[in-house]
Amino acid sequence: MEHHHHHHAASAQSLNGIFILSIILNVVFVLVEAGVGLWQNSLSLLSDAGHNLSDVFSLLLVLVAFRLAKVQRNERFTYGYRKSTVLISLLNAVILLVAVGAIVIESIHKFSEPADVNGIAVSWTAGVGILINGATALLLMRGQKNDLNVRGAFLHMAADTLVSVGVVISGIVIAYTGWTIIDPIVSLIIAVVILISTWELLSDSLRLAVDGIPDGVDLKEIEEHITENEHVKEVHHIHVWAISTTETALTAHVVVDDLSCWSQVSEHLKHELAEHGVSHVTLEPETEDCHCHDREC
């Protein structure tokens, strides 16, 4: 478990630099994209810029989450502020949902009042977005497997890359056909893409916020691993929850045939559970006689 803690700390440290670079790149692009969007009166560019701005805030919030996860436990918070990383991932999902609502409202308005758009300018600007969002997604790809916040940022950037591709296509269509109606249509497609990429983050964040079992942890599999031990007769009162977006805790009552072997059994089980992503384990031993007595009560 100590090795896991050091590995996570090193991983968070390396991700700090990646997030800072990603934030700088995206801030510059948001300014450029919003400027061109206003200049050329393109809703698809403005909506994409607004979404990219929300991603900048999301990246900043993840940096805050990394910082809070390092805060040591104290008299009022025995786990430190690790749970705040879950709340931050939930806040990121809510921010994206608000962005979706804003895009849909503006798109509906644009259908009734279409405006002239310079398709070539839109395409070139969105093309830069493909490079920046794609590069950011690649930078986050490795870390997204182990942290819900990093996964959320990765999914947003990957979705943004696809969105920018859509904006390029709309710009080309407008340039060659003059169909400005394609602009709000692409904006609605952008909203759908954002909603789809946000849904998993929202559902995972809500589950962890109410102490649901983290994604990737199989309760039946854990029970099987515990009962596979030759001294374990039964396991019950199992509780699994997320301490943070990267750390999982478990408590359980374990019925053994010989309490004198408990120290060895306990260490073995904790090692096994750590291999399956459960880093904080509390096991309470029971004998068969004691357990049967408890059930009669």
Tell me the chain's radius of gyration from C-alpha atoms: 25
Residue 114, pLDDT score: 67
φ, ψ of residue 242 in degrees (nearest 5): -95, 125
Residue 269, pLDDT score: 92
User: On the CB side of 87, how many CA atoms lie within 13 Å of its CA?
Assistant: 7
Q: Per-residue pLDDT averaged across 187-208, rounded?
A: 85
Bigger pLDDT: 240 vs 141? 240
Band the pLDDT of 251: cuts 50, 70, 90. Answer: very high
φ, ψ of residue 252 in degrees (nearest 5): -160, 155
Q: Which of 29-43, 62-76, 248-262 has the highest mean pLDDT?
A: 248-262
Give the strands of the sheet with 248-256, arranged side by side: 232-242, 248-256, 280-287
Q: Which of 126, 150, 136 is nearest to 12 (CA)?
A: 150
Residue 209, pLDDT score: 92
d(CA 183, CA 194): 17
Of 80-89, 154-163, 268-277, minimum mean pLDDT range: 154-163
Evaluate if residue 1 carries a pLDDT over 60.
Answer: no
Band the pLDDT of 117: cuts 50, 70, 90. Answer: low
Q: What share of the chain is helix, strand, coil (3-state, %, to 5)?
A: 70, 10, 20
Q: Is 41 exposed, middle or buried (0-12, 13-18, 19+ CB in 10 A)?
A: middle
Q: What is the location of CATH 1.20.1510.10 in the chain?
A: 2-209
Average pLDDT, the chain: 81
Evaluate if residue 192 carries a pLDDT over 80.
Answer: yes
Which of 3.30.2320.50, 3.30.450.20, 3.40.1360.10, 1.20.1510.10 would CATH assign to domain 2-209? Answer: 1.20.1510.10
Burial 81-106 (b: 16+ CB within 10 A, else e): bbbbbbbbbbbbbebbeebbeebbeb
Sign of the CA dihedral 139, 27, 153, 197?
negative
Q: Is 116 helix (H, G, I), strand (E, B) or coil?
A: coil
Q: Which of 52, 71, 64, 67 is nearest to 91 (CA)?
A: 64
pLDDT digits (tens, 9 = 90+) for 46-81: 777 877 787 788 788 888 888 888 888 888 888 888
Band the pLDDT of 281: cuts 50, 70, 90. Answer: very high
Evaluate if residue 199 carries a pLDDT over 80.
Answer: yes
- pTM attached to this predicted model: 0.75
Bigger pLDDT: 51 vs 256? 256
d(CA 28, CA 112): 32
Query: Quick one: what percent of the chain has pLDDT higher than 90?
Result: 12
Are 167 and 130 in contact by the 8 Å Cβ rule? The answer is no
| Domain 219-296, CATH | 3.30.70.1350
Of 88-102, 169-183, 217-231, minimum mean pLDDT range: 169-183
Q: Which of 42-56, 157-171, 269-283 has the highest mean pLDDT?
A: 269-283
Say which amino acid occupies 198.
Answer: T
Q: Per-residue pLDDT averaged across 249-274, rounded?
A: 90
Q: Per-residue pLDDT averaged across 228-251, rounded?
A: 90
- H/E run at residue 32: helix 2-40
Q: What is the location of CATH 3.30.70.1350 in the chain?
A: 219-296
Sign of the CA dihedral 61, 242, 205, 7?
positive
Q: Per-residue pLDDT averaged across 221-232, rounded?
A: 88
d(CA 240, CA 280): 10
d(CA 128, CA 162): 13
d(CA 139, CA 143): 8
Are 85 and 79 in contact by the 8 Å Cβ rule? The answer is no
Residue 283, pLDDT score: 93
Are 215 and 200 in contact by the 8 Å Cβ rule? The answer is no
Paired residues of 253 in beta bridges: 236, 284
